[in-house]
Amino acid sequence: MSNHSILRNAQFAATLLFAFYSILPVATGAPTRKNLVIIQTDEHHFGTLGCYGGTIVETENIDWIARHGDLCQRFYATTPVCSPSRASLVSGLYPQKTPVVTNNIPLNDSIVTFAELLRRQGYATGYAGKWHLDGDGKPQWAPKRQFGFADNRFMFNRGHWKKFVDTPMGPQVGSRNAMDQPNYGLEGADETSFSTDWLCAKAIDFIHKNGQRPFCYMIAIPDPHGPNTVRAPYDTMYKDVEVPIPATLKKPREQTPAWGRSTDVTAAQLRRLMPPYYGMVKCIDDNVGRILNALREEKILDQTIIVFTSDHGDLCGEHGRLNKGVPYEGSARIPFLIHCPGKIKAGTVTDEALSCVDFLPTIMDLLDAPYDIAVDGRNAAPLFTGKAQSWEDICFLRSTPRGPWLAVTTHQYKLVYSSIEAPWLIDVDNDPQERINLFEEEKHRDLIRELTQKLGKYCLKHNDPYGRLPRIHASMNKVLDGRVDKTK
């Protein structure tokens, strides 16, 4: 054999050897692909978290995620109620396409979620907690349609149950009435059976079982949604706290649009309702700590993307309201924190407006996981990692069919078109209480026109029927002189 042939064969063997070693796991035994843990709460006001300026509840574990990753300042629920928001998060699609436009509508069979995409790529996948995407079933454990969450034994469709138990027949709600029907009681609930503790324990079990292979697990905690009750010692932990009363609890009618009219919540009600709400938040934070410790025990914390978010907010008395469903910040703006070692620098803060539809393309990029489905959301990974050359600071929100409204939001401005009210423009930075309507101010004409044109393009591109409602359509066309540019 010639020297040239020997050299060529040696080079070929070296190439094969390099290729072989390049696909082996790293020496520590950690998987080469990142894991994904998503912790989603329900009806959670972002302002109760320390990383968002909260001062009553010490949320050291949730704040740890913020300090070691990215804190999104303007992340919004695409529709600020349970089912539509959850559908958009898992699919990357606007609600009218899922077609979950209000609560209790089943997710379409054709929807491919981020979990299904990861399952197809060899990930172990699972889910524990509230799903709310399979219709009216309540609690309806382990829905037959898994949507990629292969281990969904501890997924239930609906309800804000406070106590769970394991039985030979599977999980059950632990509090029941005389007719043996499940209820929201928490009598006897402790650190093993209270809903938040029990669900997070299932996540921890999954982590320990699958820690040495790529996995994706989502925990959907039904708190701090009402009823505002929590197990001891959290039930009395904040009983003596001075509950802050929002300045907008009572305000002049001209400062309240029709879509945001007060339900006449009183200061006395808030003083009764908020201490257990704080207790629920503290219990959640302690359980986030348990999950972080499980990842540390498996030595995979640095190999795991951790997301903390919620499906929507809770006004907690702001504007005289409780709960959600309106475009006010307390209702539509949600916490979104993401820890992604090696890609997102610790202490990153993102100010640009994002929403639930942006989650799927972003997380798939951060996981280096290709996908071939069409989504409506944008890949914000370059924004989080500091690699974005340009970014359009905008997102679109929509209501449920009851009193329809559309909103276009940037990090500073929020423009709302309603079927029951004249348009509102709010400067969230300079008017954080959202009292003042700037829509008629001449100095904002160019801004209003620009935002309206973008909202019109959204309606055309994504076939949003709200854009065709008479009052919304007329108001938008008045701004645009009867034209919506279809060319861009």
The per-residue pLDDT for range 141-187, each reduced to its tens digit, is 999 999 999 999 999 999 999 999 999 999 999 999 989 999 999 99
Instruction: Enumerate residues 6+ apart whose C-beta is below 8 A from 293.
Output: none
pLDDT, averaged across the chain: 92
What sign has the CA pseudo-torsion 30, 196, 157, 84?
negative
pTM of the model as a whole: 0.92
**What is the rounded distance in angstroms from the CA atom of residue 1 to the CA atom of residue 13?**
16
Confidence of residue 261 (pLDDT cuts 50, 70, 90): confident
Residue 130 has pLDDT above 50, yes or no: yes
% of the chain exceeding 90 in pLDDT: 87
Residue written as tokens 């009435």?
177
Residue 312 has pLDDT above 90, yes or no: yes
Return residue ranges of the chain for CATH 3.30.1120.10: 395-479
| 230 contacts 223 by C-beta, under 8 angstroms | yes
Pairing of β 405-409 and β 395-398: antiparallel
| Rounded average pLDDT over 115-124 | 98
% of the chain exceeding 70 in pLDDT: 92
| 258 contacts 417 by C-beta, under 8 angstroms | no
Instruction: Enumerate residues 6+ apart whose C-beta is below 8 A from 252.
Output: none
> Helices 445-461 and 470-479 sit at what angle, rounded to 10 degrees?
130
- What's phi and psi for 130, nearest 5 deg? -75, 130
The rounded radius of gyration (Å) of the Cα atoms in the chain is: 24
Provide the pLDDT for residue 215.
98
**Nearest Cα to Cα of residue 41 among 154, 192, 199:** 199
Confidence of residue 389 (pLDDT cuts 50, 70, 90): confident
Confidence of residue 77 (pLDDT cuts 50, 70, 90): very high
Residues in the chain: 488
Residue 98 has pLDDT above 60, yes or no: yes
| 314 contacts 274 by C-beta, under 8 angstroms | no
Q: What is the CATH number of domain 35-384?
A: 3.40.720.10
**What is the rounded distance in angstroms from the CA atom of residue 282 to the CA atom of residue 440?**
43
| Rounded average pLDDT over 294-310 | 98
Provide the pLDDT for residue 487.
41
At position 154, the amino acid (one-letter code) is: F
| 124 contacts 152 by C-beta, under 8 angstroms | no
395-479 fold = Arylsulfatase, C-terminal domain (3.30.1120)
**What is the rounded distance in angstroms from the CA atom of residue 431 to the CA atom of residue 422?**
19
Return residue ranges of the chain for CATH 3.40.720.10: 35-384
Provide the pLDDT for residue 482.
58
Instruction: Enumerate residues 6+ apart whose C-beta is below 8 A from 408.
Output: 394, 395, 396, 397, 414, 415, 451, 452, 454, 455, 458
Instruction: Enumerate residues 6+ apart whose C-beta is below 8 A from 158.
Output: 104, 130, 131, 132, 136, 137, 138, 139, 140
Report residue 99 as tokens: 């077609």
| Rounded average pLDDT over 304-319 | 97
What sign has the CA pseudo-torsion 8, 11, 17, 22?
negative
Write out pLDDT tens, residues 334-351.
999 999 999 999 999 999
